[in-house]
Amino acid sequence: MVSATTYTKADFQAPVETRWCPGCGDYAILAAMQAFLPELGIEPERTVFISGIGCAGRFAYYMNTYGMHGIHGRAPALATGLAAACPDLSVWVVSGDGDALSIGGNHLIHALRRDVPIKILLFNNRIYGLTKGQASPTSELGKVTKSSPFGTVDAPFNPVALALGAGATFVARTLDTDKHHLPAMLRAAAAHPGAALIEIYQNCPVFNDGAFDAQTDKRTHDDNVIALEHGLPVRFGAERERGVIRDSDGDLRIVAVEEVGEEHLLVHDATRQDPSLAFALSHLGEGDGGATPIGIFRQAPHERHPADELAAELRAAHASFGERQLQALLHAGDTWTVGA
């Protein structure tokens, strides 16, 4: 149900001081969210933000909505329960790369697998910010941090690839400071009936400053960002002179458009049920620091019921179970009386 009331950004701004480090990308994401939510026409009291531990965890305090600052990694689990119990709510999860992909990894993949109707914003700054600069699950190989003084030895997680592997039906990537692209991704995620994950490249100016300069700096943006647009050939560059093709073995490769012709470029199809092409796109630029795709990787149409619909069907099917049968079930088998 959508309210007939017209809301503004101010309706979603909590009357408290916003406190992150100066220059933190979280400010830009918060402003984009507060400006976008009025479009949905959903009352602030029917909107919920659930966060875990980390700098991103403060997000819930700054939204004039219901919210909960959960424990480390458990935001998807809390949101799953809320969405199942109250399907009329708009439920958003805010989590960082450390929170979502380390201790919260299993909660994240199962929320996506179940296609719970929650929208997950994964702030990826490739570092633990709140605990002052340790390597996170997305830190680059060889990254020198307080917890890896000789450089990390673990290959980093790719959040988009992980989400696709978990069966997520909506997966996107965007940039914290892109005032046009970020709201567009939020809009698309909100319209998706099932689970949605948006990885947001987010700068940490204190402990990992410049991690995404290649993508966000206006001087290098065009050469380092591959904008994925459904139904269009995948090409990029200041003059759109480069593109992506799919070789006969299925591998993706970046080429000069004038050498192969636009007709041979890969045409992006975000609605494919088979996630293999989106998975291949998610790995472009990985490791070599090359051009990185942003946009919607997968926006699969629903051929199965979201979790809330399935839960409603189960409740309706067993509505006649009755209080007496329930009591019989609860007291069946081995029982005992405390204090007897």
Specify the pTM: 0.90
CA-CA distance, 298 to 268, in Å (whole number)?
10
Listed as ranges, residues in the chain with pLDDT below 70 are 1-2, 4, 287-289, 302-312, 314-315, 317-324, 326, 335, 340
CA-CA distance, 336 to 85, in Å (whole number)?
30
CA-CA distance, 201 to 25, in Å (whole number)?
9
Tell me which long-range contacts 251-255 makes (C-beta under 8 A, separation of at least 24): 251/280, 252/280, 252/281, 252/284, 254/284, 254/290, 254/291
> How is the chain split into domains, by residue range?
9-228
Tokens encoding 182 = 């970020």
pLDDT in tens, 293-313: 999 999 998 665 555 566 667
Residue 5: per-residue pLDDT: 80
- Neighbour count for residue 162 (Cβ, 10 Å): 22
Number of C-alpha atoms within 13 angstroms, CB side, residue 256? 2
Residue 28 phi/psi, 5-degree rounding, is -65, -40
CA-CA distance, 176 to 216, in Å (whole number)?
9
126: left (phi over 0), alpha (psi -120 to 50) or beta: left
Apex 93 CA angle, 92 and 98, nearest 5: 165
Residue range 9-228 in CATH 3.40.50.300:
no
Beta bridge pairs of residue 226: 293
Q: Nearest Cα to 233, choosing from 196, 256, 271, 266? A: 266
